[in-house]
Amino acid sequence: MTSTVGPPPYYENRGFQPENYSARPPAGANPYPPYFSTNAPSVPTYVPRVSTYQSTSPVAPSSGRTCSSGVKKTMIIIISILIVICCAVGAFFIWYFVENHCLGSLIECGSSGVCVSPSDWCDGVTNCPNGEDENRCVRLFGPNFILEVYSPVSKAWYPVCQDDWTDDFGKIACKDMGYNVDTYYYSQGVAAEVSFKSFMKLNTSAGNTDLYKRLHNSNSCASGNVVSLRCIKCGLPTKSTAIMNRIVGGSTAVLGQWPWQLSLHVQGTHVCGGSIITREWLVTAAHCVEGQLSDPYIWRVYAGIVSQSDIILRAGYRVQQIISHPDYDTDTKDNDVALMKLETPLSFTDNVQPVCLPNPGMMFEPNQQCWISGWGAEYQGGKTSTTLNYVMVPLIERSRCNSIYIYNGMILPTMICAGYLEGGIDSCQGDSGGPLVTNKNSVWWLVGDTSWGTGCATPNRPGVYGNMTVFTDWIYKNMQANR
């Protein structure tokens, strides 16, 4: 017999008491929009208005006058066609120059319309209004933090050969990604992968000049090693993680077990979770800071605690700035991520440490073991917990999570599912914005931030998290632009 019982009420994992949301309908026939919207302006359609010739002369029944009238009509038609063609050509050129600000090989600076020559890109001199030509030149790739430098000429990323590389250059590269020099961890050489065909090498005879002017493309690397760069000591908890199968269905954490976990408060009440990524910056969910909650001055951030009673003797950290993802959609929870910048930097201790942002090139597989943590409710409709809980949840393949009997197309590329289809273990109200992490290469990586779900620990309704691999580039750009 077919059940007519609908799904449990939809929730956002806020720390406030849950509201009675109705389950949302499927997102539509195409649940997989492109990662990046081009925001291309539509081509204007011009409808030419042609003034019709009005004769004021009396009409004579003359064959010549009739012939002249026919000629005039023909001329009007020809002129109208020419005007339509001119308008169409004009519309094309308007579209072309709107869509193609930069002609030839020039590179556009973001959306400013300023065009820069490839030779000016990554040369140490800021030519773009917002500095895009100098702050998008380096990245860390893969689980081994391989330093790569962008070549605007070939429009490709290349690993940096370790030959003649020093920590001073490493600090420059880290600064260009938005990190402070005081968190610099190390640069070291690791064996180059066989797939590397070309490298960026330092030109030792270049003299005392900018880092990027020293680098040149080469097909060889004498040492055979490429630079592994760590800009911050992240993903290294001071306590081992005991895997227990008892958040809903979770276990009580001990101090230092999840040192990047934060409790975000408004007026003395835990509202959401967050994750430390640097001394000044933390990641949370965009839906945590909507509306009136977008005011940074109402928030207090608490780090290095496992019990909410621990905040009694602490003042908490004030928030200076909140940056929500510009493409966040309050209805679908697309791009549900936000950054908070603290007024005063965190003091790192054994119990307060950052988690690592996933690097480009990292893939997290279905069924991969991840952990969620937070002070969320321990059952649907319950109050937030006074103690920090955690539990292991496996990742679920997006296509499976989008199946008709689970979320029916609501899981977008900016989201990732994790949990158990049989239910019983899940995140819940109050866990929002908190971390979904995994351990790879003995490092803890931030896979996602707790976003939404239907019910708590309900069968076929696993937790949904912001897909951090999609957001890292946006995070680095904002860290660099708001230092």
Q: Which residues are catalytic?
A: 287, 336, 432
Determine the Cα–Cα distance for residues 357 and 476; give it in Å rounded to an integer: 10
Q: Comparing C-alpha atoms, which of 293, 417, 292 is closest to residue 284? A: 293
Contacts 24+ apart (CB under 8 A), 105-109: 107/133, 107/152, 109/133
Q: How far apart are CA 466 and CA 449, in angstroms?
A: 5
| Closest by Cα among 324, 330, 340, 328 to 279 | 340
Rounded (10°) CA dihedral 114, 118, 119, 121: 70
DSSP string, 87-120: HHHHHHHHHHHHH--S-TT-EE-TTS--EE-GGG
- Whether the CB-CB separation of 479 and 177 falls below 8 Å is answered with yes
258 CB-near residues (< 8 Å, 6+ apart) = 237, 371, 373, 388, 390, 435, 437
Whole-angstrom Cα distance, residue 210 to residue 216?
12
Q: How many residues does the chain have?
A: 483
SS3 content of the chain, % helix, strand, coil (to 5): 20, 25, 50
Rounded Cα distance, 249 and 261, in Å = 19
Half-sphere exposure of 279 (CA within 13 A, CB side): 17
Rounded CA gap, 87 and 310, in Å? 70
Residue by residue, DSSP assigns 223-269 as T-EEEEEESS--S--SS--------BT-EE--TTSSTTEEEEEETTE
User: What is the C-alpha separation between 235 and 355, in angstroms, rounded?
Assistant: 4
Round the CA-based radius of gyration of the chain to a whole number and report it: 29
